Structure 1
Amino acid sequence: MGDMYAVELSLDLRATMPSAVVDELEWHLGTATGTGAGRAEGTADVPAEELAGPDDVFPLLAERGPAARIGGLLVGELHRTDCGWALTARQEVHAECLSDLGPVLEQLARHSSTEGVIGQIRFYEDHVPELLINESGILVRMSLKADGIGAGPAYMPV
């Protein structure tokens, strides 16, 4: 038995998203052209608390190729569009990294132009995911299980 979660994201991000947030997201996707130095320092546009902290030691959305536990492929793409950015990611995330992923997901919801479902997360052995929902810039997690059992970590409001 493993401690892996399947995380899937599909959302649009506003053109007004600060460049520091774009840089941070590119770093997590493994597509940053720079070194990532100063990721957590913040700027005048984006305070440091909006960026992943210094404990974030590796990119969380950077894996590519066949998935080890969840089947299918691991992907992570961020593309510039006429209206901002389009993001799609499908990753295996270890349970120990969920607390690092939470602030990234909250930041994405804050800058998303997509209202409603922006992704899902599920323990790899479960059949039913929890939805990640953007409600006016606030990330909300909704369990699809009738009894609510299996609700994930407390890093996102319910």
Structure 2
Amino acid sequence: MADLYEVLIAAELRGDLPEAEIAELRWHLGLGPQPEELAIVTAWYPITVDEHGDQLPEDQWKYDMYPLLAERGPADGRVGGVAFSELARREDAGATSWALTSRQVLHPDELDLLGPLLQWLQEQATGYRGGPAYFSCHMRFFEDDLVLRPISVHGADIVLHEIKVVK
């Protein structure tokens, strides 16, 4: 049985982000091609064996780089719902920002890769019309109750918080 996490991210990002960062973000969201250089998520898992399972010499290692939030369509049946990601440029009353929402199903091994992306999103968060910076991320283990738990990002570490349900 696989371990899976439902992850829901919503953020309002600065409108003046460099084009290279927007290009990488679009790639992670499945909305554009992979840029030649990646600066947001830089640590990837090495592929150390060939297709036959034989160990490769270190100078032949490649890195398994893939977009982290790019799934679309019906989510894994154990989680339910739909996986999606969207990024939209917002221009309102002279202010510009990027609105982002993503719902994905991730394996626990991917959370180490997701941490730097969430840290970057949190650092780029801004407020809508001068309001407080907006970055929200919730997740749940697929076998838990259908209640998403808030997370916080400390450096590139993801901390999943307990919640108390009042009945």
**Considering the TM-score relative to the shorter chain, is it more than 0.5?**
yes
Alignment-derived partner of residue 141 in structure 2: 123
Pick one of 38, 47, 52 that aligns with 2:41. Answer: 52
Q: Deviations over 1:33-90 (max 9, x none)?
A: x44212x2xxxxxxx4xx2115261111100001113111001000111121000100
Q: Deviations over 1:92-119 (max 9, x none)?
A: 0111111000000000000011536612
Residue 60 of structure 1 aligns to a residue whose secondary structure is coil
Change (3 A) 1:85 1:12: same
Rounded Cα–Cα distance in structure 2 between residues aligned with 1:21 and 1:74: 23
Q: Cα offset for 1:11?
A: 1.4
- 1:17 lines up with 2:35 in the alignment: no
Alignment-derived partner of residue 36 in structure 1: 35
Do the aligned residues in 2 keep the contact of 1:64 with 1:74 (CA within 8 Å)?
A: yes
For the aligned residue pairs, the C-alpha RMSD in angstroms reads 2.6
Matches within 5 A, 1:57-96: 57-68=65-76, 69-82=78-91, 83-96=96-109
Percent identical residues: 37
Change (3 A) 1:111 1:139: farther
Unpaired segments ≥5 residues, structure 1:
41-47, 147-158
Alignment-derived partner of residue 155 in structure 1: none
Rounded Cα–Cα distance in structure 1 between residues aligned with 2:139 and 2:27: 21
Change (3 A) 1:16 1:118: same
Change (3 A) 1:117 1:36: closer
Moved more, 101-110 or 55-64: 55-64
Residue 36 of structure 2 aligns to a residue whose secondary structure is coil
Rounded Cα–Cα distance in structure 1 between residues aligned with 2:65 and 2:162: 32
Rounded Cα–Cα distance in structure 1 between residues aligned with 2:34 and 2:115: 23
Alignment-derived partner of residue 149 in structure 1: none
Q: After the TM superposition, which parts of structure 1 deviate over 6 Å for at least 4 consecutive aligned residues?
A: none
Do the aligned residues in 1 keep the contact of 2:9 with 2:102 (CA within 8 Å)?
A: yes
Rounded Cα–Cα distance in structure 2 between residues aligned with 1:54 and 1:4: 21
Do the aligned residues in 1 keep the contact of 2:12 with 2:100 (CA within 8 Å)?
A: yes
Moved more, 126-135 or 53-62: 126-135
Alignment-derived partner of residue 43 in structure 1: none
Moved more, 6-15 or 16-25: 16-25
Change (3 A) 1:16 1:139: farther
Question: Which amino acid is 2:120 matched to?
Answer: Q
